[in-house]
């Protein structure tokens, strides 16, 4: 389609709705324009920054008429920083838009009611963890701009805990005052415990130089008493923040969150929900959705530090947690000891591998909990869940798009959703958590694909349209086919080709292994070209199959090895079957002598050459430059390219 906009153009449009991204959606002459940090109802002047086939992107130049849902933002760098996306929207509208996003993504399950989004208690200062990139060359630290690695200078962030803001501000002021002395600093990672009021700092470094970082660590220890300081070495060119090596300066970085009925210990590299109060709401909801059965077992996939496993342990005889992150499994085992829970077992490994092995052992859990990362579950995991035969599945998702994909796979495996609950884990962003409960329903199981048919060895009659050279009856070798009926013609032709080639190879081996005086004269084989498919197949020369005229000529057409043993042995007059070859074409002097076609050391024609080549006049040119015929404006000088010769 013809795009009505171009890059650099300014257009006026109205925002109609929000996408599952930081963008609002507007239209200019019925052409979609995505505009970040906009609100439904905004009338904007937009600068077009990117144009694609079916859509374009732009940025706000001027707000002509603000939306009634738009509010003032407390952050001075909102719109530049990519840390949050919906800070300019009224919070009640944020909840409504998140519910609408979930409804649109899960429209394949329209018969299931989607509950109202559970709101957060705090809209600001709720995050217990944040990572601040450092630009040493630009002398600044902050957060990345939207969809880029450009560092926006940030003094404080209104989304993270207040005590973490104090620690980050102290580090930032130290770096600015000393002209960023830690030249190998990559990231500043701050983490805090909301219930215990403790915190930790991890300085991610490019190499093992610790002198300047140690000075900062000592100052942090003096300023903040309940703090752990660690160094992490990451010398790889990757977007993964943490490296494999961690050095403890003060404390071990472990934080504890505690409630009256349970407590969790989390190491610096283990996953833990960033909104502590909303996390407890979500996990209490998951526990309430699980049916209690003290005689059955449950399986918690992607269990992390065991947060869900330990909460539901009292409802089952045994709970098994699985995660591929080794430090997280170590934390889960420690948390089981802290809470004196003995019916939980935690396994370290890839979820898809362990679930596949469980099928072999006959493991049958009644309930399966899924809490995967943002990319969702592997397809093999969802198929294995269906084969395990669990009666209930509870899926906790942080990406509604991958959730929609995985629910379709679970539906094919025999599960149907009966409960869908959005929860706002990240206020002022477009992200939304969704909790779904599914139950086993045999009517949802998709039919299995037809099994592959194995054709037995048997005698099959050849169709009358087959070539007469084929026998009327041919034995077909065992083949596997997706079709319900074999294809005898193709199988017979393939068998014949394999037989002929095998005979040729066998003849070669017999000849090479025999003594020189006892070697038989080989029948000459030559490739027969299949013009239809432009491929070669080896077969003996036969006059009856339409080959050229055959003749018996001693030694002509034989290989050097054949001539050697034919001449040494007493085989005078011996002949081999060869194909008649056409005579070589006569030499045409009008095309120049072979000497005239020789190249000079620099790639040009020799001085004795009098004619013109197809590339143009190159009479004795040192470098064989481009001809005037190739360039309408004339030659631009000698060329050293490979087109006319190589040094």
Active-site annotation holds for 81: no
- Three-class DSSP category at 212: helix
CA distance 83 to 145: 8
CA distance 143 to 145: 7
Count the neighbouring beta carbons within 10 Å of the beta carbon of residue 625. Answer: 22
The residues, any chain, with a CB within 8 Å of residue 133's CB and separated by 6 or more, are 141, 142, 143, 144, 149, 151, 186, 187
Cα–Cα distances in angstroms (integers) from residue 555 to residues 165, 181, 564, 578, in the given order: 93, 84, 10, 9
Q: One of 81, 299, 344, 398 is an active-site residue; which one? A: 398
The residues, any chain, with a CB within 8 Å of residue 645's CB and separated by 6 or more, are 599, 600, 602, 603, 604, 623, 624
CA quadruple 623, 629, 630, 634: dihedral positive or negative?
A: positive
Among all chains, which residue has been given the structure tokens 């005689």? 295
Among all chains, which residue has been given the structure tokens 């080989």? 522
Phi, psi of 219 (to 5 degrees): -65, -40
Count the neighbouring beta carbons within 10 Å of the beta carbon of residue 442. Answer: 6
* Of the candidates 367, 360, 359, the residue with the CA atom closest to the CA atom of residue 415: 367
The residues, any chain, with a CB within 8 Å of residue 468's CB and separated by 6 or more, are none
Strand order in the sheet with 185-192: 151-153, 140-144, 129-135, 185-192, 199-205, 227-233, 245-250
Q: Tokens standing for 541?
A: 């020369």
- Which residues are tagged catalytic? 398
């Amino acid at each position: 389609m013809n795009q009505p906009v171009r890059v650099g153009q300014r257009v006026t449009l109205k925002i109609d709705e929000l996408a599952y991204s930081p963008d609002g959606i507007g239209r200019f002459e019925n052409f979609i324009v995505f505009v970040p940090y906009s609100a439904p109802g905004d009338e904007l002047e937009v600068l077009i920054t990117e144009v694609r086939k079916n859509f374009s992107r732009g940025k706000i130049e001027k707000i002509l008429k603000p939306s009634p849902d738009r509010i003032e933002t407390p952050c001075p760098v909102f719109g530049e920083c990519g840390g949050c996306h919906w800070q300019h929207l009224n919070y009640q509208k944020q909840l409504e838009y998140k519910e609408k996003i979930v409804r649109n993504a899960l429209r394949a399950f329209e018969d299931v009611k989607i509950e109202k989004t559970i709101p957060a208690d705090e809209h600001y200062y709720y995050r217990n963890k944040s990572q601040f990139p450092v630009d040493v060359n630009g002398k600044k630290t902050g957060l990345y701009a939207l969809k880029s690695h450009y560092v926006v200078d940030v003094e404080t962030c209104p989304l993270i805990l207040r005590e973490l803001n104090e620690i980050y501000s102290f580090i930032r002021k130290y770096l600015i005052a000393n002209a960023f002395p830690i030249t190998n600093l990559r990231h500043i990672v701050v983490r805090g415990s909301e219930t215990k009021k403790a915190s930790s700092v991890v300085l991610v470094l490019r190499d093992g130089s610790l002198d300047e970082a140690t000075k900062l660590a000592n100052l942090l220890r003096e300023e903040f008493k309940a703090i752990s300081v660690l160094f992490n070495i990451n010398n790889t060119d990757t977007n993964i923040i943490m490296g494999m090596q961690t050095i403890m300066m003060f404390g071990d970085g472990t934080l504890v969150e505690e409630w009256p009925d349970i407590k969790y210990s989390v190491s610096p590299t283990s996953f833990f929900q960033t909104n502590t109060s909303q996390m407890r709401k979500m996990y209490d909801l998951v526990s309430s959705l699980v049916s209690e059965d003290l005689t059955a077992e449950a399986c918690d996939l992607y269990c992390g530090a065991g947060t869900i496993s330990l909460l539901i342990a009292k409802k089952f005889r045994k709970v098994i947690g699985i995660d591929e992150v080794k430090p997280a499994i170590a934390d889960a085992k420690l948390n089981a000891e802290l809470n004196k829970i003995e019916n939980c077992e935690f396994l370290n490994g890839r979820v898809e591998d362990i679930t596949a092995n469980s099928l072999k052992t006959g493991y049958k859990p009644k309930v399966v909990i899924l809490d995967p990362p943002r990319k969702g579950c592997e397809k093999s995991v969802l198929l294995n869940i269906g084969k395990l035969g669990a009666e209930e599945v509870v899926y906790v998702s942080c990406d509604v798009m991958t959730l929609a994909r995985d629910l379709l796979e679970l539906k094919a495996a025999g599960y149907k959703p009966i409960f869908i609950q959005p929860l706002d884990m990240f206020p002022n962003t477009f992200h939304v958590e969704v909790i779904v409960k599914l139950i086993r329903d045999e009517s949802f199981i998709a039919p299995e694909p037809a099994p592959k048919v194995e054709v037995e060895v048997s005698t099959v009659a050849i169709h009358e349209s087959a070539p007469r050279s084929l026998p009327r009856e041919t034995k077909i070798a065992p083949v596997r086919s997706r079709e319900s009926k074999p294809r005898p013609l193709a199988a017979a032709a393939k068998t014949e080709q394999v037989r002929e080639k095998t005979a040729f190879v066998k003849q070669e081996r017999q000849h090479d292994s025999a003594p020189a005086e006892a070697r038989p004269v080989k029948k000459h084989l030559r490739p027969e070209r299949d013009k239809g498919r432009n491929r070669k197949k080896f077969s003996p020369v036969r006059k009856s199959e339409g080959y050229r005229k055959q003749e018996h000529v001693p030694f002509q057409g034989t290989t050097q090895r054949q001539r050697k043993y034919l001449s040494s042995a007493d085989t005078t007059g011996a002949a081999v079957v060869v194909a008649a070859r056409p005579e070589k074409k006569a030499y045409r002097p009008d095309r120049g002598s072979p000497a005239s076609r020789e190249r000079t050391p620099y790639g040009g024609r020799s001085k004795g050459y009098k004619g013109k080549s197809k590339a143009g006049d190159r009479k004795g040119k040192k470098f064989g430059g481009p001809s005037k015929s190739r360039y309408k404006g004339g030659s631009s000088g000698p060329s050293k390219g490979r087109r006319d010769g190589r040094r």
